[in-house]
Chain A
């Protein structure tokens, strides 16, 4: 059942399929002034970027777009059409609903694999550190280690740091390959009781991450599961495996690298310094990038000896977010414009690890003086250099990479460059812990109550979590920015991760100077109150939207939600909280979305996943999910309508909660758990 009070708003997108890509022949598909400047500058240069390729792909195949193209077995591709007759099914006899459910669930499996495998790499780093097998990493945040241990039920009593760290690491690894029927610890330890029961009743709590993915790939193999509900539930289980992997990633990264604290930085291509050695950190795994950043200062002299003014690190995608959160490293740009960072001509070296790295960066780099270095065994690009990273030789590898960059800098001298003078100030570094620190100045005992009080008084409408990618079906960054502006004005408290956070960072939304202009009066007042009470630690004030990290840090957004629910004494579907991936692109966005829907959150996606080919699967995702889990998908490509729907979803929960409270009082009954 849809959850908007305004029945004029439906859960189907307001824009017909053929009209979703506006101005499909125009490559100037961005609202980022730096990106537009770059595209204009290189307009006739012959350099091909994602913008050109997106336009070249139009119009895209409608069968594939709607999810009714099945390539799971090699009798295919089968494209199904109509309600009856031979053409309405694949060669094997699969219905539209089976095909769409399988396709979309497999995307979730891809996403869960990416997030969790990333987490696994990090756990191995902690394990090596705990066992003294590497000198390059150690437990940096012992308090976090103890908190995590307590959360997942590991006693710290009488254990030294490394012994405890080893136990935590092994417990985390067990979540990947647990052989019992117990659900993953990093999932159940962070849920409300209501969610635990719901996941158990519906059999979607993964017992191990790997098994959830393997099981999904098996059940969506040709000739296995044909039942759309069963397949979608298997997909949701992968979504929760993704949640588990993300949570492990965040927890262990914080333990090894430190839990983020508010920091000051900048974003957009203007952060690149022509006279410095520019090293761009791109990808998702923070271990190598953080090592580079940590080792940077000791390499400054070598850079200066080569004629540079120093070393300038900057980030793209989530590895960029990780080093921003912990070390204040500036953001160069986000996903869609990654090639443009190379086209500035001043990027001496781009080091990449995993995920969201366009293979084309190497081709673009050919035209400039940029070295592309891959580092992970599962992520290589022909023509680029590869330096195998492992946790035991991290510092050594980092030194090698920086020296390669310095070399590259030397060769760059005298070559042309074009760096748009566009950048914005950014305040970032908001872990749940650091946000609660801020809130604790209002309510020391129950910090989250500070926000709940604002919401219950009607001054703040709720919380919106922004995440996800860029997708040129939208205009680059436009959905992110227009929707966040719309929500901020309506006094919605915003937290964000991933490329969404970077879009906001580039556009100045994380610059405290713009709070009064961007936020509604009540939200601005709340932020100013927090600033005032925390002025001893906050040097530069607070931003309109809170950057909570990389895409694995969507776990922080889940924790924020759980904390709200527990503080309000309700299950998550009653919390005025929405999530949005305004420009979803990757498989990870699908698995994150599944996780949020299962966790009871209205989840907007601003670019269409391949689901419209089956009314049945569409109904399950958008309507029945709401009845079963309280969370549901909202697919809407028009940003103004999307903003309206997100606000409506928040307002709806507030309205319903108001009625429920009044009714409980009137009938002298406990608050209903209905949602």
Chain B
């Protein structure tokens, strides 16, 4: 079907909402005229040659690059672009023209915003964000593709009062929605202490034209994950409509520019719901609708956009959802903490048989939250017993790692690490709302049953908070960990006969295919071979499929015929040959949401690793964002490889290219995180102790010329290895 067919039925013949169309048309006139005035002045002041870019993106001005293909790098390019969009504001008051006016308004807003970045990379103060850089879009990519984030809500304007705004947003956050906020709704939410910011996937953009940064975000998803070439407007719109489940909620008094911007949303396939009463000639069926009742507005918006909910409501006194996963609880906000060597703490998921479990039972052994005092170091043991007909011991570890995510979903709950290195905090707020340890059990049982229903039939949770009981159970847990580790050591690529695929990202990157092996975690870092294996058990028709290994074509480079066949088919004939053990020749492709990217540094005969968290320059001459922009969307790019951080300690770290000895640069941030584990792996490789200290970082230099002498001084092995480019 052609894209335009999605608008069928919006307008009843003879009942065209002409007033609404006129508002959109005039709003576009206002926006484009204002943009022209600012642009002409800026060119006069700074000169046409002046560079213009948003910080931390490889996609120029994304609205413009995505929809027109123009790669804007200087001010002087903009007048012609703006003129094209001015020229598509047509007089007849039709729906089609209103959508074009909407697109023009997006361009105008993009120009107005971009001009603010001429003199500074940070025109707005925290927590207002303005433009959101590529790393953030990539970071949340995996949550968008697996629908943990089921959709995106763009809220603009102002609710009747702050409490109502908070209520609407709590509902959206509870559903896991990503939020883009513009205008006073930001202040209203901040007043109500709603948690906003990058960590909460709730983005306070700013005022007025800053709302365009929502479009900038959405359109980059199409370019990053969908690999839609710049300027393929219709493909891009189709992508947006199919995969970005966004809608707009307009609160408070309307004006023509907002209406025009909202038609920009409609142009991309996102409908609008407003709390304002609309006249008959201001409504568009399923595209521009009124719902003054705040209890119904979110539901209606989701319904007309067709957002499928993935999160479930759990009866606990705190909010929960992926929005709170990134929440940190600072010391000042903390009621008390557990673990981190200050108190004994552990968590354990174990498979039990049907006779030893009472489904849904939650027991707290020891004092409850309210029996401890603020600031206490609380001992804790979380034991989750699981029985399932299709449950396997191998899944214990997979399920145990989920404890981290599930608990972090709770607002005011914080969890890091795993097993008996866990460190948890509970906020004062959560305690004030009545959070009890018992609620950990509620969360865990609900989430396991929701997400792993195929392998989990019964769940029972026991929380130990009595110091003696914790110690006792900790010993039991240690035995389980040891047994599990021994089994894991046996998990080698050579020792299994089945790999698993991951096509999860195809919801966003339709041509991307991952093959997971025991020693090759997904490049997003979120899916391992075991995860995929478990997922296959849960849903045999799902995104993870077994791939029989068969006979290798090239054992060293990691190429199997079965894998090639699978790649060819599932990438829709885009990939024919893939080597899993090298980044130099037919390397694995990337979806776009990788945690880090590796790039060859010819001068050093090695590779540099840039992480999403490192915003500075790298010796490849590119930042993470630019590097990432050059590979993604399911494309093979020799010399570049997107990876998950865990891959750095894998037994199959680009073995065909020389392995870890090739690493000549990584940011200090990464070094600090992986130091011990990485050093241990390197020592096992025969690279000696503390190899990480031979690797350069940004304190040594940010270019090949800067780091090369230093590497020589360290006697870095890469310098004497065979030419990385081969013969």
Chain B associates with chain A: yes
Chain A positions near chain B (C-beta within 8 angstroms): 1-2, 5, 7, 10-11, 83-84, 97, 200-203, 227-230, 233, 615-616, 619-620, 623-624, 627-628, 655-656, 659-660, 662-664, 667, 669-675
Shortest Cβ gap from B492 to chain A (Å) = 48
Does A229 contact B125, Cβ atoms closer than 8 Å?
no
Does A619 contact B157, Cβ atoms closer than 8 Å?
no
Does A1 contact B29, Cβ atoms closer than 8 Å?
no
Known: A10-B253, A83-B19, A84-B93. A620 touches B30 (CB 8 A): yes
Chain B positions near chain A (C-beta within 8 angstroms): 18-19, 22-23, 26-27, 29-30, 33-34, 37-38, 40-42, 45, 93, 124-128, 157-161, 183-184, 187, 190-191, 206-209, 252-253, 255-258
**Which among B40, B207, B253 is the interface contact of A7 at CB below 8 angstroms?**
B253
- Per DSSP, chain B at the interface is helix
Shortest Cβ gap from B108 to chain A (Å) = 11
Does A616 contact B160, Cβ atoms closer than 8 Å?
no
Does A228 contact B41, Cβ atoms closer than 8 Å?
no
| Chain B residues with CB under 8 A of A624 | 30, 34, 255-257
| Chain A residues with CB under 8 A of B183 | 1
Known: A228-B29, A615-B22. A201 touches B255 (CB 8 A): no
CA distance A671 to B128 in the complex (A): 11
Shortest Cβ gap from B679 to chain A (Å) = 35
Shortest Cβ gap from A97 to chain B (Å) = 7
Does A229 contact B252, Cβ atoms closer than 8 Å?
no
Does A203 contact B252, Cβ atoms closer than 8 Å?
no
Known: A201-B42, A233-B37, A620-B30. A2 touches B126 (CB 8 A): no
What are the 7 A-B residue pairs with the smallest beta carbon separation, nearest first? Answer: A229-B33, A623-B255, A616-B26, A627-B208, A669-B126, A667-B126, A672-B125
CA distance A584 to B478 in the complex (A): 83
Does A615 contact B23, Cβ atoms closer than 8 Å?
yes
| Chain B residues with CB under 8 A of A670 | 125
Known: A203-B40, A229-B33. A656 touches B125 (CB 8 A): no
CA distance A616 to B252 in the complex (A): 18
Does B208 contact A203, Cβ atoms closer than 8 Å?
no
| A–B complex contacts, Cβ < 8 Å, 25 sampled | A7-B158, A7-B159, A7-B161, A7-B253, A83-B19, A83-B93, A97-B26, A97-B29, A202-B37, A202-B38, A202-B41, A203-B37, A227-B33, A229-B37, A619-B255, A620-B30, A624-B34, A624-B255, A628-B208, A660-B187, A662-B191, A670-B125, A673-B125, A674-B128, A675-B207
- Chain B's closest residue to A12 (CB) is B253
User: How many cross-chain pairs have Cβ atoms below 8 Å apart between A and B?
Assistant: 115
Does A2 contact B41, Cβ atoms closer than 8 Å?
no
CA distance A361 to B258 in the complex (A): 50
Among A84, A227, A663, residue most surrounded by chain B Cβ atoms (within 10 Å): A663
| Chain A residues with CB under 8 A of B157 | 1
CA distance A672 to B40 in the complex (A): 27
Known: A200-B41, A669-B125, A672-B128. A616 touches B29 (CB 8 A): yes
**Which among B18, B34, B206 is the interface contact of A628 at CB below 8 angstroms?**
B34
Beyond the given pairs A1-B252, A659-B190, A660-B187, 20 more chain A to chain B contacts, judged by CB atoms under 8 angstroms and listed by A's residue number, are: A1-B207, A1-B253, A7-B158, A7-B159, A10-B253, A83-B22, A97-B29, A200-B41, A202-B38, A227-B33, A230-B37, A615-B23, A615-B256, A619-B256, A619-B257, A623-B256, A656-B187, A663-B190, A667-B126, A670-B125
CA distance A656 to B207 in the complex (A): 13
CA distance A262 to B18 in the complex (A): 58
Does A228 contact B252, Cβ atoms closer than 8 Å?
no
Does B26 contact A674, Cβ atoms closer than 8 Å?
no
**Which among B30, B158, B159 is the interface contact of A616 at CB below 8 angstroms?**
B30
| Chain A residues with CB under 8 A of B160 | 7
CA distance A373 to B26 in the complex (A): 51
Does B37 contact A1, Cβ atoms closer than 8 Å?
no
Known: A1-B255, A615-B256, A670-B125. A230 touches B191 (CB 8 A): no
Does A229 contact B29, Cβ atoms closer than 8 Å?
yes
Known: A615-B256, A674-B207. A83 touches B18 (CB 8 A): yes
| Chain A residues with CB under 8 A of B158 | 1, 7
| Chain A residues with CB under 8 A of B26 | 97, 228, 615-616, 619
Shortest Cβ gap from B185 to chain A (Å) = 11
CA distance A624 to B34 in the complex (A): 10
Shortest Cβ gap from A513 to chain B (Å) = 41
| Chain A residues with CB under 8 A of B93 | 83-84
CA distance A203 to B41 in the complex (A): 7
CA distance A440 to B160 in the complex (A): 41
Shortest Cβ gap from B35 to chain A (Å) = 10
Known: A7-B158, A83-B22, A663-B190. A616 touches B256 (CB 8 A): yes
| Chain A residues with CB under 8 A of B159 | 7
CA distance A84 to B253 in the complex (A): 25
| Chain B residues with CB under 8 A of A656 | 184, 187
CA distance A16 to B710 in the complex (A): 79
**Which among A10, A619, A662, A675 is the interface contact of B30 at CB below 8 angstroms?**
A619
| Chain B residues with CB under 8 A of A673 | 125
Shortest Cβ gap from B165 to chain A (Å) = 11
Shortest Cβ gap from A98 to chain B (Å) = 10
CA distance A303 to B132 in the complex (A): 79
CA distance A282 to B124 in the complex (A): 51
- Chain B's closest residue to A622 (CB) is B255
CA distance A230 to B86 in the complex (A): 14
| Chain B residues with CB under 8 A of A659 | 187, 190-191
- Chain B's closest residue to A229 (CB) is B33
**Which among B191, B253, B256 is the interface contact of A2 at CB below 8 angstroms?**
B253
| Chain A residues with CB under 8 A of B30 | 228-229, 616, 619-620, 624
| Chain B residues with CB under 8 A of A2 | 252-253, 255
| Chain B residues with CB under 8 A of A663 | 127, 190
CA distance A663 to B161 in the complex (A): 18
**Which among B45, B125, B256 is the interface contact of A671 at CB below 8 angstroms?**
B125
Shortest Cβ gap from B116 to chain A (Å) = 10
| Chain B residues with CB under 8 A of A229 | 29-30, 33-34, 37
CA distance A182 to B45 in the complex (A): 13
